Amino acid sequence: MNPSKQNTSSGARVAQTSTGVPIVAEADVVVIGGGPGGFAAALRAARMGCSVVLIEKYDMPGGVHTSGLQGAANPGAGGIHTELMDRFAAEGCIYTANEKNLPDWAGNALAHYDYYLTPGSPFSRSSFNPESAGCVMVRMLEEAGVQAMYGASFVDVVLERHGAEERMTDAIIENASGRQAVRGKVFVDGSGTAEVVARAGAPFVRGGGRQPETVTSDPMERPIPGGLLWIMSGIDFAQVAAYQKRENDPALSKLIDVARVAGDIPPELYRPKLAGQGVYGEHYIGHPTVDMSPIQGPGTFILWQNVPYEWALHMDDDAEHASRAKKALRQLIDAEAKFLVKYVPGFEKAFITHVGRYVGVRDGRHPVGEYVFSIDDARSGRRFPDAVTQPMTKTFFWDAYTRHTFEVPYRCFLPQKVNNLLLTGASLSFTFETIFMVMRNFPWCTQTGEIAGFAAAESVRQGVLPKELKWTTPLF
Ligand SMILES: Cc1cc2nc3c(=O)[nH]c(=O)nc-3n(C[C@H](O)[C@H](O)[C@H](O)COP(=O)(O)OP(=O)(O)OC[C@H]3O[C@@H](n4cnc5c(N)ncnc54)[C@H](O)[C@@H]3O)c2cc1C
């Protein structure tokens, strides 16, 4: 088959007769997606006495941070996030690199997070082992009595009209048994890409849309690229650092040049950053060199492989884009691993140990909910009567590294049109620059999950819809 024709629709359609879909489970709260947001929502609602079903496509909860291998163990934000970090630590899932066990890391040009530190300065970089963390998270859901369905893909919704609004009655899933329905009173969209919102026909802005003035003329509406993370073991970093110093080659540029001339580096690997032309300036765009961070244990590092920005891939809603990203990023990972082993001292015995189960989306659909939190809300330090937390202070690196103190209203958790659906994690009603630049990190996504789980359980307890719930007291 000609690959370029692979996904080209002929326009022909097939009629699918349906005899109905079996309802295989029924719960107070149905959570779709078990990332940091969905996991915490399910746990909180179950602990508040609700029956809860969690629908997860892969084999464990944790989303980008386990199935996607991310594993950054940022300090606890309170509630379930702190509990999770404590549990990971108690169960031996956390690995911490510092200046003693990883000298020459602080200030190293290859260090994803720690490149900006003064060389030789003290540092502490903690990560959790994504695989063992996933085991702990599976157990925590079991302990709370959540009915978790793994290997189950959410594919559709059943809606019921109630006046001007609609109510979701069932989530349609596909798993080894075929197509099934899960019935619920309240639903939580924890898909990370607002997939439930999209299937329910509620409004959202596509990734890459509404970009700031610097790129509004961009006809491609390029989303902030997603990425596939991978892990390599058997690395002798002391030897890498010795080479960097000996040859005065901090970013491995000399080795990259040699490999490029030999045809060992494809053009998309080690591309320059877009130097301020992109939506987020210098950040994340392109990989001028190896981009890595210690994880799991000595000699093991996680590496970043981002989608080339100029490809403008919408992986969350375009199957051809998603397939292209998967194929291309695996090829780039393969090429990068081969380059490292062949050319870079210290990598001779290194090997690929994991590739993320999915390509993470950084800038997918952004629901347009009952309130859309914008950068102006952060800049003006806006306060809300329905604030979900006490005022938070965060650094907006896209906004010239300014620190803003602000609140987030409960209405950001409520999509329009569907009155028994709650948003969470990366699927909140935020503009893309607020969500990408600050408000989609692991601790906050776990907190927002807990907030959504609390709202779902309170709605069930009070016999009201999430939209009717009066939110007057911050949860955190
Ligand atoms: C490449 C990358 C690097 C990142 N780096 C960092 C970092 O260094 N530090 C940090 O704090 N944050 C980082 N983030 C951000 C953070 O990981 C995300 O914002 C966060 O994981 C979002 O949480 P979530 O629960 O909303 O969604 P996700 O983590 O995406 O989880 C969504 C879950 O839903 C499941 N799902 C999706 N669709 C379906 C479906 N149809 N049916 C069933 N299940 C489904 C998925 O399998 C997944 O488990 C990164 C994100 C990406 C993509």
- pLDDT of 131 strictly over 60: yes
Q: Is 413 in the pocket of ligand 1 (CB under 6 A)?
A: no
Q: Is 278 in the pocket of ligand 1 (CB under 6 A)?
A: no
Q: Which residues make Cβ contacts (< 8 Å) with residue 3, sequence separation at least 6? A: none
What is d(CA 246, CA 240) in angstroms, rounded to the nearest whole number?
10
**Which atom number of ligand 1 is nearest to the Cα of residue 64?**
29
**Which atom number of ligand 1 is nearest to the Cα of residue 113?**
8
Q: Distance from the CA of 71 to the center of ligand 1, in angstroms?
A: 11
Q: Distance from the CA of 238 to the center of ligand 1, in angstroms?
A: 33
What is d(CA 112, CA 302) in angstroms, rounded to the nearest whole number?
9
- pLDDT of 212 strictly over 50: no
Confidence at residue 281, expressed as pLDDT on a 0 to 100 scale: 59
Confidence at residue 208, expressed as pLDDT on a 0 to 100 scale: 77
Confidence at residue 4, expressed as pLDDT on a 0 to 100 scale: 40
- Kind plus residue range of the DSSP H or E element containing 134: helix 130-144
- pLDDT of 14 strictly over 90: no
* Structural tokens at position 435: 């969500």
**Atom 15, ligand 1: which residue's CA is nearest?**
441
Q: Is 294 in the pocket of ligand 1 (CB under 6 A)?
A: no
**Atom 16, ligand 1: which residue's CA is nearest?**
441
Contact (CB, 8 A) for 378 and 406: yes
- Of 323, 321, 325, nearest to 305 by C-alpha is 325
Q: Which residue has the higher pLDDT, 100 or 222?
A: 100
Q: Distance from the CA of 360 to the center of ligand 1, in angstroms?
A: 6
Confidence at residue 1, expressed as pLDDT on a 0 to 100 scale: 32
CA atoms within 13 A on the CB side of 418: 30
Confidence at residue 224, expressed as pLDDT on a 0 to 100 scale: 83
Q: Is 364 in the pocket of ligand 1 (CB under 6 A)?
A: no
Q: Distance from the CA of 263 to the center of ligand 1, in angstroms?
A: 35
Over residues 313-344, the pLDDT tens digits come to 999 999 999 999 999 999 999 999 999 999 99
Over residues 345-374, the pLDDT tens digits come to 999 999 999 999 999 998 899 999 999 999
Over residues 72-96, the pLDDT tens digits come to 998 878 999 999 999 999 999 999 9
What is d(CA 199, CA 475) in angstroms, rounded to the nearest whole number?
30
Q: Is 195 in the pocket of ligand 1 (CB under 6 A)?
A: yes
For the whole model, what pTM was predicted? 0.94
Q: Is 426 in the pocket of ligand 1 (CB under 6 A)?
A: yes
Over residues 429-459, the pLDDT tens digits come to 998 878 777 788 999 999 999 999 999 999 9
Q: Which residues make Cβ contacts (< 8 Å) with residue 388, sequence separation at least 6? A: 407, 408, 409, 410, 413, 448, 451, 471, 474, 475, 476
The preferred substitution site among 32, 191, 358, 436 for testing ligand 1, maximizing ligand atoms within 8 Å of CB, is: 191
Q: Is 125 in the pocket of ligand 1 (CB under 6 A)?
A: no
Q: Distance from the CA of 464 to the center of ligand 1, in angstroms?
A: 30
**Which atom number of ligand 1 is nearest to the Cα of residue 112?**
8
What is d(CA 443, CA 453) in angstroms, rounded to the nearest whole number?
15
Q: Distance from the CA of 192 to the center of ligand 1, in angstroms?
A: 5
Q: Is 56 in the pocket of ligand 1 (CB under 6 A)?
A: yes
| 220 — pLDDT class (breaks 50, 70, 90) | low
Q: Distance from the CA of 186 to the center of ligand 1, in angstroms?
A: 22
**Atom 17, ligand 1: which residue's CA is nearest?**
64
- Of 345, 338, 322, 319, nearest to 269 by C-alpha is 338
If you write DSSP's letter for every residue of 194-212 in order, what string do you get?
-HHHHHTT--EE-TT-S--
- pLDDT of 142 strictly over 90: yes
**Which atom number of ligand 1 is nearest to the Cα of residue 356?**
1
Which of these ranges, 39-53, 116-130, 299-313, has the smallest mean pLDDT?
A: 299-313
Q: Which residue has the higher pLDDT, 421 or 223?
A: 421
